[in-house]
Amino acid sequence: MSDGPRAIVAAHGDLAEGLVSAVSRVAGAAAAARLMPFSNSTLGGAELVDALRQAVASTGAQVVFTDLPAGSCTIAARRIARESPGLAVVCGTNLPMLLSFAMASTGGPETWRVAVQKGQAAMCIAEEGARAD
Amino acid sequence: MPIEVYRIDDRLVHGQVVVGWGQPLALGFIVLVDDQVAESAWEQDLYRMGVPPEMAVHFESVAGALSRLPAYRLLPDPGLLLAGSTAAMRALVEGDPDIRHVNVGGLHHRAGRSPRLRFVFLDAAEEADLRAMRARGVEVSAQDVPGAVPVPLDDLLTRSGG
């Protein structure tokens, strides 16, 4: 099933590692191997761009999943995408989104568009929690 | 409203600034001071797209910031000034006596820098810049997010990481 990383998951702290670990638990190691976790920890702006650019180049990833739209990972990924047309950047990454992407048989644009739809659809208030006073 | 925070951060606009400081301070604007970014529409677009629409971003060179800081302080909303280097902030401090506090928010790992805190790495020139600001009576401390305890400059310069 696995053919090496096809996407970078770039996030704050240990979030990317945790998300990829969760993909492995839910969908198996082969699906998780399609995702390379990347942390912005300790990296300044320029160093972050260099490290992420290297990760994209070494994997041939066509998409970078990031957490915060305003975050340094997103800004770095967009900077690289402007240099390298064809690289997609997806913000607001969550586990359902990554599961959809990692379990798909292909990794093209339609795959991450569907993944975004899955991620968005998974966000809900499952129980209101309102008390009737 | 005064500018609430004068921050040195080599990531410039990012999550800690927009969310970490932006939400609790209800920031209405950011003044991003960087000579290169001030001359590049491409760079400005990159940083602006990460900021929520209710938060304005003003891009300034050091010289431009010095001439317009008094006007920014008259804006009705709280603001945050962001410089990407100690040198830029030192120039601002030397040109504007109303800057009384400087927040070292993030200077990350780079060749030639030594670790002081998890989010602060400094080389000799940067240490000299911070000392020069303090010598002008400015309170300099390191603090990445509002909930963290500020580390005063003297303490910061004795640390060796972590």
For chain A, list residues whose CB is within 8 angstroms of any CB belonging to chain B. Answer: 12, 42-48, 67-72, 74-75, 78-79, 82
**Three-state DSSP class for residue A22:** helix
Does pLDDT of A133 surpass 70?
no
Backbone dihedral angles phi then psi of residue A10, each to the nearest 5 degrees: -115, 125
The full set of domain ranges for chain A reads 7-121
B46 to A82: CB separation less than 8 angstroms, yes or no: yes
Domains: count for chain B: 1
Is residue A107 within 8 Å of residue A35, measured between CB atoms?
no
Is residue A100 within 8 Å of residue A119, measured between CB atoms?
yes
Active-site residue flag, B58:
no
Distance CA B3, CA B65 (A): 12
- Say what the pLDDT of residue A1 is: 46
Task: Give ipTM to 2 decimals.
Answer: 0.77
> For residue B138, what pLDDT band results from cuts at 50, 70 and 90?
very high
| Residue among B15, B51, B84 whose CB faces A72 most closely | B15
Indicate which of A48, A75, A83, A89 best probes the interface with B, i.e. most B CBs within 10 Å of its own CB: A75
> For residue B162, what pLDDT band results from cuts at 50, 70 and 90?
low
For residue B108, give the chain A residue with the closest CA.
A44
The third-level CATH classification (topology) of the domain covering A7-121 is Rossmann fold (3.40.50)
A47 to B51: CB separation less than 8 angstroms, yes or no: no
> For residue A42, what pLDDT band results from cuts at 50, 70 and 90?
confident
Tell me the pLDDT tens digit for each residue of B2-35: 899 999 999 999 999 999 999 999 999 999 999 9
Write out the residue range of the structural domain in which residue B76 sits: 3-158
- Distance, C-alpha A47 to centroid of its chain: 20
Tell me the pLDDT tens digit for each residue of B45-66: 989 987 889 999 999 999 999 9
